[in-house]
Amino acid sequence: MFSSLLKFLGFQPKPEARKTASRPSVTSHKLEKKKIPASKLTKGMTVIELDRPWTDVPVMFQEVTIESEEEIKLLQKYCQHVFIDHHSYKTIYAQQLLDKKRRPIYQKPNLTPRQASVRLREEMPRAQKAYDKSHRHINTLMRDVQRDSKVDIEGSKELVSSCVDSILSDETAMFWLSKIKNKDEYTAEHCVRVGILSIAFGKYLQLPREELELLGLCGMLHDVGKMKVPQHILNKEGPLTEDEYKIVKEHTVLGYVFLRNHGGIDEQVCTAAYNHHERMNGRGYPRKVSAELLSTYDRIIAIVDSYDAMISDRCYRKGMSPSRALSQLYKGQGELYDEQLVKQFIQMVGIYPVGSLVELSSGQVALVLSVNENSKLEPVVEIVTDSNKKRIKPQAIDLTKKPKDQNGQPLRISNTLADNEVEFDLESFIQAIKGAA
pLDDT digit string, tens, across residues 283-312: 999 999 989 889 999 999 999 999 999 999
- Give the pLDDT band of residue 31 (cuts 50, 70, 90): low
Gap between the Cα atoms of 221 and 203, Å rounded: 19
Establish if 22 belongs to a structural domain: no
Q: What is the mean pLDDT of residues 112-134?
A: 83
User: Greater confidence, 60 or 267?
Assistant: 267
Same domain, 257 and 389: no
pLDDT of residue 92: 63
pLDDT of residue 195: 96
| 230: preceding bond cis by omega (within 30 degrees) | no
Out of 349, 374, 407, a domain closes at 349
Phi, psi angles (nearest 5°) of residue 381: -125, 160
Establish if 132 belongs to a structural domain: yes
- Give the pLDDT band of residue 98 (cuts 50, 70, 90): low
Same domain, 265 and 408: no
Establish if 314 belongs to a structural domain: yes
Q: Is 171 exposed, middle or buried (0-12, 13-18, 19+ CB in 10 A)?
A: buried
Same domain, 128 and 74: no
Establish if 47 belongs to a structural domain: yes
Q: What is the mean pLDDT of residues 13-25?
A: 39
* Of 39-48, 85-94, 387-396, the least confident: 85-94
pLDDT of residue 26: 39
Same domain, 52 and 150: no
Q: Is the dihedral of CA 392, 115, 198, 328 positive or negative?
A: negative
Q: Residue 396 half-sphere exposure, CB side, CA atoms within 13 Å?
A: 8
Q: Is 230 exposed, middle or buried (0-12, 13-18, 19+ CB in 10 A)?
A: exposed
Q: What percent of the chain has pLDDT over 70?
A: 86
Same domain, 96 and 240: no
User: Greater confidence, 35 or 27?
Assistant: 35
Gap between the Cα atoms of 90 and 268, Å rounded: 21
* Of 106-115, 191-200, 251-260, the least confident: 106-115
How distant, in Å, are the alpha carbons of 158, 196, 198 from that of 305?
Answer: 22, 11, 9
Same domain, 286 and 366: no
Q: Which amino acid is at 45?
A: M
- Give the pLDDT band of residue 13 (cuts 50, 70, 90): very low
Same domain, 237 and 335: yes
pLDDT of residue 396: 85
pLDDT of residue 91: 63
Gap between the Cα atoms of 415 and 409, Å rounded: 17
pLDDT of residue 23: 42
pLDDT of residue 419: 80
Establish if 194 belongs to a structural domain: yes
Q: What percent of the chain has pLDDT over 90?
A: 43
pLDDT of residue 20: 32
- CATH number assigned to the domain comprising residue 180: 1.10.3210.10
Same domain, 288 and 413: no
- Give the pLDDT band of residue 113 (cuts 50, 70, 90): low
Out of 317, 349, 381, a domain closes at 349
- In whole numbers, what is the pLDDT of the chain averaged over residues? 84
Residue 374: Cβ within 10 Å count = 8
Indicate the number of domains in the chain: 3
Establish if 267 belongs to a structural domain: yes
Same domain, 138 and 256: yes
User: Greater confidence, 126 or 424?
Assistant: 126
Out of 326, 349, 372, a domain closes at 349
Q: Is 346 exposed, middle or buried (0-12, 13-18, 19+ CB in 10 A)?
A: buried
- Give the pLDDT band of residue 33 (cuts 50, 70, 90): confident
Q: How many residues does the chain have?
A: 437
pLDDT digit string, tens, across residues 321-351: 898 999 999 999 999 999 999 999 998 888 8
Phi, psi angles (nearest 5°) of residue 171: -65, -15
Q: Is 15 helix (H, G, I), strand (E, B) or coil?
A: coil
User: Greater confidence, 424 or 165?
Assistant: 165
Same domain, 263 and 325: yes
DSSP assignments along 418-435, one per residue: -GGGS---HHHHHHHHHH
Give the domain range for residue 210.
113-349
Establish if 9 belongs to a structural domain: no
pLDDT digit string, tens, across residues 353-403: 888 889 999 999 998 888 877 788 898 888 888 888 888 888 888 999 999
State how far Cα 24 lies from the chain centre: 34
State how far Cα 214 lies from the chain centre: 16
Q: What is the mean pLDDT of residues 400-410?
A: 89
Same domain, 311 and 167: yes
pLDDT of residue 25: 43
Q: What is the mean pLDDT of residues 233-246?
A: 91
Same domain, 87 and 218: no
Q: Is pLDDT of 100 > 70?
A: no
Q: Is pLDDT of 15 > 70?
A: no
Asked if residue 400 lies in contact with residue 375, where contact means CB atoms within 8 angstroms, the answer is: yes
Highest mean pLDDT among 8-17, 88-97, 128-137: 128-137
